[in-house]
Amino acid sequence: MTRKERKKRPVWNHFNSLSRSDVSHPHVQCIYCSKEFQRAIPERMQVHLDKKCPNAPNNAKSQSSQLNITTSVITNNINDEIARKKGPVWENFYIIDKYEDSHPNVQCKFCFKEFKRAVPQRMKTHIEKCSKAPNNAKSKYNQNISKINNIKDCMSDEEQKSLESLLAKALSSAEIHFSFVDNPFVIEFFNRLKPSFKLPNGEEIKIQMSQFHNNKSSMNDIEYYDHEMENAIITFEEASENDDLDSMYNLECYYKDEIGTEKNEIEAFELYKKAAEKGHIDSIFNLGCCYVQGIGTKKNEIKAFELYKEAAEKGDIKSICNLGYCYENGIGTEKNEIKAFELYKEAAEKGDLDSIFNLGNCYKDGIGTEKNEIKAFELYKEAAEKGHIGSIFNLGCCYKDGIGTEKNEIKAFELYKEAAEKGDLDSIFNLGNCYKDGIGTEKNEIKAFELYKEAAEKGHIGSIFNLGCCYKDGIGTEKNEIKAFELYKEAAEKGDLDSIFNLGNCYKDGIGTEKNEIKAFELYKEAAEKGHINSIFNLGCCYEDGMGTEKNEIKAFELYKAAAEKGVLGSIYKVGMCYRYGIGTEINVIKSFEYYNRAKRSC
In-domain check, residue 483: no
Percent of the chain with pLDDT over 70: 71
Please enumerate in sequence order all residues whose Cβ is within 8 A of that of 508, keeping only pairs 6 or more positions apart, or say none: 515, 517, 520, 538, 547
pLDDT digits (tens, 9 = 90+) for 56-115: 777 777 643 333 322 233 333 433 444 444 567 777 877 765 444 556 777 787 777 777
Domain end position, chosen among 99, 118, 137: 137
Q: Which of 493, 495, 518 is nearest to 507 (CA)?
A: 518
Q: Which domain holds residue 103?
A: 10-63+88-137
pLDDT, greater one: 175 or 422: 422
Q: Residue type at 459?
A: G
Does residue 475 form part of some domain? no
User: For the residues 197-219, what does the mean pLDDT come to?
Assistant: 57
Taking the model in full, what pTM does it have? 0.60
Q: Let me know if residue 449 belongs to a domain.
A: no
Domain C-terminal end among 351, 371, 391: 371
Identify the weakest region by mean pLDDT among 40-44, 80-84, 426-430. Answer: 80-84
Could you tell me which of 449, 450, 448 has the C-alpha nearest to residue 431?
A: 448
Task: Produce one character per residue of 105-132: b if its CB has 16 or more CB atoms within 10 Å, e if not.
Answer: bbbbbbeeeebeebbeebbbbbbeebee
What is the number of structural domains in the chain? 3
8 A C-beta contact, residue 377 and residue 363: no
Mean pLDDT of all residues in 382-407: 97
For residues 227 and 221, give the distance between their C-alpha atoms in angstroms, rounded to a whole number: 10
CA proximity to 320, closest of 351, 280, 291: 351
Would 36 be classed as within a structural domain? yes
Specify the CATH number for the domain of residue 324.
Answer: 1.25.40.10
Residue 291 covered by a domain: yes
At residue 18, the pLDDT reads 72
How far is the C-alpha of 97 from the C-alpha of 214, rounded, in Å?
A: 46
Helical segments of 242-300, H only: 245-257, 265-277, 281-293
Query: Is pLDDT at 569 greater than 80 in this prediction?
Result: yes
How far is C-alpha 77 from the chain's CA centre? 47
Which DSSP string do the residues of 315-337 spell out, in sequence order? T-HHHHHHHHHHHHHTSSS---H
pLDDT of 87 reads 65
pLDDT at 1: 32
User: Quick one: pLDDT at residue 560?
Assistant: 97
Residue predicted with more confidence, 467 or 12: 467
Sheet of 93-95, strands arranged across = 93-95, 106-108, 114-115
DSSP symbols for 34-65: --EESS--HHHHHHIIIII-TT--GGGS-SHH
Q: How many C-beta atoms surround the C-beta of residue 19 within 10 A?
A: 14
pLDDT grade for 172, boundaries at 50, 70 and 90 = low
**pLDDT tens readout for residues 155-166:** 566 667 777 777
217 within domain boundaries? no
Which residues neighbour 272 within 8 Å (Cβ) at sequence distance 6 or greater?
249, 252, 283, 286, 287, 290
Strand order in the sheet with 15-17: 15-17, 28-30, 36-37
Q: Which residue has the higher pLDDT, 600 or 381?
A: 381
Averaged over 23-34, what is the pLDDT? 75
Biggest CA pair distance of the chain: 107
- 283 vs 368, which has greater pLDDT? 368
Name which residue leads in pLDDT, 474 or 75. Answer: 474
Using CA atoms, how far residue 185 sits from 182, 208, 356, 491, in Å, is: 9, 22, 18, 39
- Looking at residue 75, its pLDDT comes to 36
pLDDT of residue 224: 37
**Chain centre distance of CA 104:** 33
**Residue 541 falls inside a structural domain:** yes
Q: What is the mean pLDDT of the chain?
A: 80
The region of weakest confidence among 166-175, 245-254, 293-302 is: 245-254
Whether residue 234 is contained in a domain is answered as no
What secondary structure letter does DSSP report for 7? P
Give the per-residue pLDDT at 63: 40
pLDDT single digits (tens) 525-537? 999 999 999 999 9
Sign of CA dihedral 271, 272, 278, 281: positive
Decide: helix, strand or coil at residue 223: helix
Residue at a domain's end among 371, 394, 419: 371
154, pLDDT greater than 70: no
Which pLDDT belongs to residue 124?
Answer: 79
